[in-house]
Structure 1
């Protein structure tokens, strides 16, 4: 069984979000082939975990996908593909999948399942992912701080066209004020995603 963390989003408490993390994934090509075949058993948002900067980065895209699903405003085929689409700064769904979605060479994976029906529970997702993902399941803590722990800030900066050195460290600027580059990146990215979603 895979380790699954359940998140609940404001205004959508009735639709819990099931998230699992895996490292050393060996069957990404198989998982991707199931998505491409539109196999309903594999209706997940399978994401390249190195492209998620922070928990808020993932949860904003999840909120937008869930909201668009519940208000019949999906731009993508399913709520899970909408989640992948919402992560990208432009409106090209294919590019969103190539950038944020699972590829044949993905080794660090995030699997997100929206509980849109009562039969989707933490237990059902845990059981299914444990059976189909060949990789080591990684526990996600209460605050979800592990989401973003594998972020490749250089690649993320490139996708969102952000400049800076990309080390994500806290530096000192004028008047002794500490500056957290990762928080600044997150703020800009969330703003871009919000504008795209409007």
Structure 2
């Protein structure tokens, strides 16, 4: 199954502010990537997200949109737009906690990487080349089918305090699994959009 870096134009944002996203499994060098982030290496300004904490494409892109919108409006609460994406996944205002729950860890094997074109030199080609050189893992499609195979619904529900919602069980009939997943997704998206709302 081959996949490549995807460039996404987010609605209601300038086309120059494109998002480049790639999803990986079997990542071997997460500790190295995390170290580059911690040392504030500008070449590694990416949102490195633990993909097991992502329920769906809409879940990830809602955080990307929120961070990009806050960047455009001068409302960033973290170091840059990429760290803001990880922070935007969190239902709380605790930045350190959001990185612990949603960011890359030394043991992360499933990784979603997002880069925003905040300068003209950040292009599809430059991001693809840099990731190819620096991420040791297998690229997989950034779509709902793939995410549903790798997301850890129990951990996601715990992070968003949604323990009372049903989990989608594969052996149910009448389309119930889809309904349960949709309900969970809507609750997660609601938690993201409500955080910090005044």
What TM-score comes out, normalization by structure 1 length?
Answer: 0.90
> Would you say 1:6 and 2:1 are equivalent positions?
no
| Contact 1:49–1:148, Cα closer than 8 Å, also in 2 | no
Contact map agreement 1:168 1:180 (CA 8 A) in 2: no
Give, in angstroms, the shift of residue 140 of structure 1: 3.4
Give 1:11 deviation, angstroms: 1.3
Deviations along 1:132-175, one digit per CA (max 9) or x if unpaired, are 1111122336xx65345411101001111112342355856xxx
Aligned residue for 2:119, secondary structure, equals coil
- Quick check: 1:46 aligned with 2:45? no
SS of corresponding position for 1:46: strand
Counterpart residue number, 1:111 = 113
Look up the match of 2:139: 137
**Cα distance, 1:114–1:135 mapped onto 2, change above 3 Å:** same
Q: For the structure 1 residues 28 and 8, does the alpha-carbon distance in structure 2 shift closer, same or farther, using more than 3 Å as the test?
A: same
Once the 2 structures are TM-superposed, how far is the Cα of residue 3 of structure 1 from its aligned partner? 1.9
**For residues 141 and 175 of structure 2, what CA distance do their matches in structure 1 show?**
34
**2:157 alignment partner, SS class:** helix
**Across the two proteins, how many residue pairs are aligned to each other?**
192
Show the counterpart of 2:78. Answer: 76
1:31 equivalent in alignment to 2:33? yes
Which is further off, 130-139 or 90-99?
Answer: 130-139
Distance change (3 Å), C-alpha of 1:84 and 1:168: farther
Q: Does 1:153 align with 2:158?
A: no
Greater mean alpha carbon deviation, residues 157-166 or residues 28-37: 157-166
Q: Secondary structure at the match of 1:180?
A: helix
- Structure 2: stretches of 5+ with no match in the other structure: none
Please tell me the root mean square deviation across aligned C-alpha atoms, in Å: 2.0
* Residues 15 and 116 in structure 1, CA contact (< 8 A), matched pair in contact too: yes
Rounded to whole Å, the distance in 1 between the matches of 2:41 and 2:16 is: 25
Partner of 2:90: 88
* Kept in 1: contact 2:166–2:180 (CA 8 A): no
Deviations 1:99-136, CA, capped at 9 Å, x for gaps: 00000000011100011111111111110000011111
